[in-house]
């Protein structure tokens, strides 16, 4: 059967036939041989392909479903929550709220960026409210200070006239006159605080030093006998300051230190030089400042004293910052407080209230 031609033909999907021509001994074809058999291998191949296709489809469907569920839980639902929280914050205008989105992906990073933006907006809102409040206080202070100045001058004149007639007064009258004069001094200080806080600042710079400023301020401060003064200031370095305004700053700080030690103590004053700045510190061993008050001491109309209106420290801060400096406080309840004034040695950075406002505006995030 060498060289015998064999032909195959599919009869149907399940059967295949093979044909061969048989020759006789002389080489002439004498017979056509037909063989039929089932197409088992073909059918198994078809079944295998169908199974694989069905498996792939099922696996793809399952994978797609699982992916949608995972994306719903990890992306879509979190995006919806993020959108809803941001919309709620925007609708309420509550910049103190923060987004909470656990995880470590891009959405979490986006939430963190939004939280930083909210913190910046919250701080800007606080600064704006404070600026409006301070402006309103300034306008009121200027009006009240102006209106009180004239009647106070009349009272001062009357007290002076009574003082010239002191020899004709009884002991009780003299006591009343002393009380009136003390009240006049307190009222005058309040009015001066109101005016100084509300008017524009114009610095008249001259060369001075910590020792001169402190010595002059101490001479104008009433120090009780139970308070020990430790003055360690020196005449170096020199600074360019408005002497009158800096004396006002130091008088306020010294008086506050004295008031903080009603039972006596030690008042330590020293100066150092650091980073081209004069650091002048005034430390007391008094009562210290409670935490709930500490954050408000630089605000006007905040005071724990029975006398005064709470303009002392705001004026200190305003005058120091007008010189391009800063003031800070370190305190411990029951052990005392240290106020440190930092002034640039090379002169003042600001000479008017206008420049102060411009600097403050530049600090507010856009």
What are the sequence ranges of the domains in the chain?
A: 6-38, 122-198, 205-363
Q: How far apart are CA 236 and CA 218, in angstroms?
A: 18
CA distances from 183 to 142, 157, 189 (A): 21, 14, 10
Which tokens in the block code for residue 12? 């149907």
Which residues have CB under 8 Å from 256's CB, separation 6+?
A: 312, 313, 339
* 198 neighbors 311 (Cβ within 8 angstroms): no
Say yes or no to pLDDT of 227 above 50. Answer: yes
Say yes or no to pLDDT of 362 above 80. Answer: no
Q: How far apart are CA 361 and CA 128, in angstroms?
A: 10
Residue 347, pLDDT score: 46
Query: Looking at the domain covering 205-363, what would its CATH class be?
Result: alpha beta
Q: Global pTM?
A: 0.50
CA distances from 319 to 16, 196, 348, 349 (A): 109, 9, 11, 12
pLDDT confidence band for 340 (50 / 70 / 90): very high
Express each pLDDT in 24-67 by its tens digit: 777 787 877 778 888 777 778 888 888 889 888 888 888 887 87
Express each pLDDT in 140-172 by its tens digit: 766 766 677 777 777 878 777 777 877 777 888
Residue 292, pLDDT score: 79
DSSP state of 201: P
Residue range 182-202: mean pLDDT, rounded = 70
Residue 339, pLDDT score: 93
Q: How far apart are CA 192 and CA 268, in angstroms?
A: 28
Beta strands 29-38; 15-23: pairing state: antiparallel
Q: How far apart are CA 32 and CA 41, in angstroms?
A: 25
Express each pLDDT in 55-112 by its tens digit: 888 888 888 878 777 766 666 677 777 777 777 777 777 777 777 777 777 777 887 8
Beta strands 265-274; 227-232: pairing state: parallel
* 213 neighbors 278 (Cβ within 8 angstroms): no
Length of the chain: 366
Q: Taking the CB of residue 265, how many other CB atoms lie within 10 A of it? A: 19
Residues of the chain by 3-state class (helix, strand, coil), percent to 5: 55, 20, 25
* 265 neighbors 332 (Cβ within 8 angstroms): no
* 183 neighbors 159 (Cβ within 8 angstroms): no
Q: How far apart are CA 277 and CA 347, in angstroms?
A: 10
């Amino acid at each position: 059967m060498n060289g015998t031609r064999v032909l195959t033909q599919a009869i149907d999907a399940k059967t295949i036939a093979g044909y061969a021509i048989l020759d006789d001994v002389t080489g002439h074809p004498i017979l056509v041989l037909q063989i039929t058999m089932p197409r088992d291998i073909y059918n198994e191949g078809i079944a295998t392909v169908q199974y694989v296709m069905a498996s792939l489809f099922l696996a793809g469907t399952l994978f797609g479903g699982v992916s949608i569920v995972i994306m719903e839980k990890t992306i879509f639902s979190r995006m919806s929550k993020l959108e809803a929280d941001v919309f709620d914050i925007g609708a309420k205008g509550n910049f103190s709220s923060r987004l909470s989105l656990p995880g470590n992906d891009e959405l979490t990073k986006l939430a963190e960026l939004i939280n930083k933006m909210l913190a910046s907006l919250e701080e800007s809102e606080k600064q704006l409210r404070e600026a409006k409040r301070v402006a309103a206080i300034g306008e009121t202070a200027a009006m009240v200070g102006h209106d009180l100045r004239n009647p106070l001058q009349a009272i001062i004149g009357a007290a002076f006239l009574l003082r010239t007639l002191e020899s004709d007064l009884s002991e009780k009258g003299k006591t009343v006159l002393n009380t009136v004069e003390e009240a006049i001094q307190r009222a005058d200080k309040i009015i001066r605080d109101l005016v100084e806080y509300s008017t524009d600042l114009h610095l008249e710079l001259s060369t001075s030093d910590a020792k001169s400023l402190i010595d002059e301020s101490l001479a104008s401060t009433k120090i009780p006998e139970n308070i020990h003064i430790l003055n360690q200031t020196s005449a170096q370095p020199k600074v360019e300051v408005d002497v009158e305004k800096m004396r006002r700053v130091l008088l306020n700080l010294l008086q506050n230190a004295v008031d903080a030690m009603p039972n006596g103590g030690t008042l330590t004053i020293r100066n150092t030089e650091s980073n081209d700045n004069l650091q002048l510190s005034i430390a007391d061993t008094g009562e210290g400042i409670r935490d709930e008050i500490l954050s408000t001491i630089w605000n006007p109309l905040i005071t724990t004293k029975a006398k005064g209106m709470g303009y002392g420290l705001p004026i200190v801060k305003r005058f120091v910052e007008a010189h391009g400096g800063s003031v800070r406080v370190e305190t411990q309840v029951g052990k005392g407080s240290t106020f440190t004034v930092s002034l640039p040695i090379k002169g003042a950075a600001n000479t008017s209230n206008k420049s102060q406002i411009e600097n403050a505006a530049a600090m507010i995030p856009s």
